[in-house]
Amino acid sequence: MRLPTTETVPDGHAIDACAPLDAVAMMLDAQQAALATVRAVSAEIAQGAVLMESAVRAGRHIHYAAAGSSGLMALADACELSGTFGLPAKAIHIHMAGGVPVDGIMPGDTEDDIAAGEQVAQQMTPGDVLIVLTASGKTPYALDIAHRAKATGATVIGFANNPGTPLLDMADLPVCLATPPEVIAGSTRLGAGTAQKVALNVMSSLMGIGLGHVFQGQMVNLVADNTKLVGRAEGIVAQIAGVPLQVAKDALARTKGATKPAILVASGSAPEEALQLLAIHQGHLAPCFQSLKSNQNQIV
């Protein structure tokens, strides 16, 4: 029986037979090779971002489902979306086999728990997007959730590191990150995990851009819930609106800390008008500025 690529022992010198610096070089080379596989699926990643954006705009939910190392990659991406792009926390769900580990222990047998899929599927509704990750492409927990999600009318984006696997065959949007054999055979926290993390980073960031939550390369919809981020929000408003820092602070106070409308307020809009403009232009600042400028010219 032919082993999947992620389980195959790599050709060449065994990493445990290498000198430490040579082992480091081998691992870094393997990471770069894994990273290169993400570029090969750029079109699929862009399509996935559109699916995520459409779901968010329609008030639907984004779900992530995975086990083991893939679950950690999913968790890392899911947990960043609310703070970075201001997405409602209730719109993002993470389903990890055995639950999110809080004690450093991640039992392996939970990836075979297909009974958990029924409970997870009950949280999904038509129009939701489910992002499923499994390096092998055949993890029972992930596959069962994917099948049940499709039955509810959710759209399944499936990431796997082995081609021709069950998840890729059944996903609405299959994404094969064809990473080479791991330098430690089967240790998918290495190359496969890197490719998954980067692919998710790019896809969810592109979603944020599509939603209008990035403007001039800055996070204009961030949630400023600590001292560092309050300062960042003030700087973003000041820079984009071209106003002194105190004006930016005043604008944020008038919008109750909401960065995107504060940018418009600092540019001469009333808070209510700022919200109306953002609603009309689906959250994108560039056309809001055009409308604001046009309104100001008419007044003059």
CA 92 to chain centre: 10
Given the residues 7, 44, 53, 80, the one annotated as active site: 80
Ramachandran category for residue 137: left, alpha or beta (phi over 0 → left; psi -120 to 50 → alpha): left
178 contact partners, CB below 8 Å, separation of at least 6: 5, 37, 40, 161, 162, 163
Tokens of 15: 């990493």
Q: How many CB atoms lie within 10 A of CB 92?
A: 19
Instruction: Show the 3-state SS of 74-132.
Output: HHHHHHHHHHHHCCCHHHEEEEECCCCCCCCCCCHHHHHCCCHHHHHHCCCCCCCEEEE
Identify whether 182 is a catalytic site residue: no
| 35 contact partners, CB below 8 Å, separation of at least 6 | 194, 195, 198
111 noted as active-site residue:
yes
Strands 218-219 vs 214-215: parallel, antiparallel or unpaired: antiparallel
Cα separations in angstroms, 216 against 68, 246, 254, 278:
37, 21, 23, 16
For residue 176, the surrounding DSSP H or E stretch is strand 173-176
**Which one of 44, 111, 182, 234 is the catalytic residue?**
111
**Residue 133 one-letter amino acid:** L
CA dist 17 and 39 (Å) reads 32
Residues identified as active-site: 80, 111
